[in-house]
C-alpha cells in the first residue's frame, strides 16, 4: 500500500486540476437521486455546464471532499426506505475537470447516513445518523480508501442528530441534535449541541449545550465556524445562534446571540413546513449565509400547491468584536427547499441548490417552479445579486446535495 506522501506525489500533476481546471472553472457537484453530476463552474460568470455523472447504489445523502488535497470525494448514500439495507459510503478519486472514479467498493453503514465530514488531515471519516441518533468514525487509509470503523464508548447524542463538524482546532466534534417539533399526542423532542472530544479517532463526551437548560425551542440543524465563533442554523425556529469558540475545542456555555432569520417573524406559525436550512461563513469571516425553507403545501382545486412559506437566502453581517449578527438581506432562492448551497473560495459567488419542483398559484392558474441551481454574485457589502438559474429535472429523485472540493 502506498503511504500518503508517495500517493500525493504520484497524484501531484492531477491534484492541481480538480480545484482549478483549465479555462478558469471549478468542479461543482450536485446529486439527483442516486446520480451524482459534476459541472464546470465558471469562476468569472458563475455559469454552470454539466460535464458527467456517476451513480451510487442508492440516493446520495451527503458528500465531503478530503480537505488535505489528496484528491478524494467521500459520498454517503441510502434509499432511506424500510427494509432496505443499502446504507453506504463510497470513496471517489477526483480526476481532471472534477471527473469521479470509484476508489474501492462501497463501505456498508449501520443505518441511513444524514451527514459526513472528514478531519483536516484526511485521516478520519465521521458519519452522522438521525433515526436513531448515532455517530461513527472510520479510518481513512494512506491510499485514500475507507478503512475500519473505530469502536466508540457511550456518548451523549441527543434526538435526531443532523450534522457533525470538526471545530477549527480539530480537538472536538460538534454533533448537532435537531430534536422534533411537538406533534399530536407527542411532546416536543428537545435539541442540543453535543460537543465531543476527539483524539485519534476516539470520541468522548465534552459538553452538552441545551439553551434554557432543557433544549426546548432549540431545533438546531447545522453549524459553521469562523476563527472566533460557531454559527448555528436553528432549523425549527428559523433562527441563527452564535457561540464563542473556547479552549480545548469547547464552545461558550450559552449562546451569545439568537436572532430570527425570517422576513415575517411569525411565518413559522403561519406556514406549516417552514424551517431553516444550512449555514456557511464567507471566507472573509465578515458575513454568514443561511437559508429559509418553506416546503408546506395546501389544496388548491385538487392540487397541492405551496402554502406561501418563505424560501430565501439570509445574509448576516457579523460584528467581529462581539459576534453579533445583523440581518441585512433576504433574497428569493428562485426555488423550494434549498437544502444545500456553496460559496466559491474567492468569496465572489454563491450557488444554491433547490431540492424539488413545486406547484404555485399564479393568479387563477397554477404553474410549476422547477428545482435548480441558482447563482448569485456576492458584493463587497456581503449582499447577493441574482444572476441566473439552471433548471434541473428532479423526476429521477430530489436534488439532495451540492458542493465544491473546497468545502471546509
Q: Which residues contact 291 (CB under 8 A, 6 or more apart)?
A: 276, 277, 278, 311, 312, 313, 314, 333, 338, 341, 352
**Confidence grade of residue 326 (pLDDT, cut at 50, 70, 90):** very high
**What does R_g of the chain's alpha carbons equal in angstroms?**
20
The DSSP 8-state label assigned to residue 11 in this structure reads: H
The pLDDT assigned to 160 comes to: 98
Please give the model's pTM, rounded to 2 decimal places: 0.94
Residue 4 in this model has a pLDDT that exceeds 70: no
pLDDT tens, residue by residue, 135-171: 999 999 999 999 999 999 999 999 999 999 999 999 9
For 254-301, where are the alpha helices, taking DSSP H only? 267-270
E strand intervals along 124-273 = 124-129, 134-140, 146-149, 161-166, 172-177, 192-199, 202-209, 220-225, 229-234, 239-244, 257-260
Closest among 250, 231, 338 to 294, alpha carbons compared: 338
CB 243 within 8 A of CB 186: no
> Minimal CA–CA distance to 406: which of 50, 18, 7?
18
Rounded average pLDDT over 83-112: 95
- pLDDT tens, 189-248? 999 999 999 999 999 999 999 999 999 999 999 999 999 999 999 999 999 999 999 999
Amino acid at each position: 500500500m502506498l503511504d500518503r506522501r508517495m500517493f500525493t506525489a504520484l497524484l501531484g500533476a492531477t491534484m492541481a486540476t480538480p480545484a482549478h481546471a483549465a479555462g478558469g472553472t471549478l468542479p461543482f457537484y450536485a446529486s439527483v437521486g442516486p446520480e451524482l453530476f459534476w459541472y464546470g463552474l465558471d469562476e468569472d460568470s458563475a455559469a454552470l455546464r454539466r460535464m458527467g455523472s456517476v451513480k451510487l447504489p442508492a440516493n446520495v445523502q451527503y458528500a465531503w471532499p478530503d480537505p488535505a488535497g489528496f484528491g478524494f470525494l467521500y459520498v454517503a448514500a441510502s434509499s432511506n426506505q424500510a427494509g432496505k439495507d443499502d446504507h453506504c459510503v463510497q470513496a471517489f478519486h477526483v480526476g481532471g475537470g472534477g471527473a469521479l472514479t470509484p476508489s474501492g467498493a462501497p463501505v456498508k453503514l449501520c443505518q441511513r447516513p444524514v451527514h459526513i465530514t472528514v478531519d483536516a488531515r484526511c485521516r478520519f471519516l465521521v458519519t452522522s445518523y438521525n433515526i436513531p441518533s448515532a455517530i461513527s468514525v472510520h479510518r481513512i487509509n494512506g491510499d485514500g480508501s475507507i478503512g475500519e470503523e473505530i469502536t466508540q464508548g457511550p456518548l451523549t447524542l441527543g434526538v435526531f442528530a443532523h450534522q457533525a463538524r470538526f471545530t477549527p482546532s480539530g480537538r472536538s466534534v460538534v454533533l448537532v441534535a435537531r430534536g422534533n417539533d411537538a406533534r399530536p399526542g407527542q411532546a416536543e423532542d428537545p435539541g442540543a449541541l453535543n460537543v465531543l472530544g476527539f483524539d485519534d479517532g476516539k470520541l468522548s463526551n465534552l459538553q452538552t449545550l441545551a439553551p434554557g437548560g432543557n433544549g426546548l425551542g432549540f431545533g438546531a440543524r447545522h453549524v459553521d465556524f469562523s476563527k472566533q465563533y460557531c454559527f448555528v442554523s436553528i432549523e425549527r425556529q428559523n433562527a441563527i445562534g452564535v457561540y464563542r469558540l473556547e479552549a480545548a475545542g469547547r464552545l461558550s456555555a450559552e449562546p451569545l446571540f439568537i436572532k430570527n432569520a425570517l422576513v415575517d417573524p411569525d411565518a413559522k406559525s403561519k406556514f406549516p413546513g417552514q424551517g431553516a436550512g444550512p449555514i456557511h461563513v464567507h471566507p472573509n469571516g465578515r458575513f454568514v449565509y443561511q437559508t429559509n425553507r418553506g416546503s408546506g403545501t395546501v389544496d388548491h382545486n385538487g392540487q397541492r400547491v405551496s402554502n406561501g412559506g418563505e424560501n430565501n437566502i439570509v445574509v448576516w453581517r457579523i460584528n467581529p468584536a462581539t459576534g453579533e449578527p445583523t440581518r441585512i438581506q433576504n433574497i428569493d432562492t428562485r426555488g423550494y427547499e434549498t437544502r444545500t448551497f456553496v460559496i466559491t473560495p474567492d468569496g465572489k459567488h454563491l450557488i444554491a441548490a433547490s431540492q424539488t419542483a413545486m406547484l404555485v398559484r399564479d393568479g387563477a392558474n397554477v404553474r410549476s417552479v422547477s428545482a435548480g441551481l441558482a447563482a448569485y454574485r456576492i458584493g463587497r457589502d456581503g449582499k447577493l445579486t441574482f444572476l441566473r438559474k439552471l433548471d434541473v429535472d428532479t423526476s429521477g429523485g430530489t436534488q439532495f446535495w451540492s458542493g465544491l472540493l473546497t468545502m471546509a
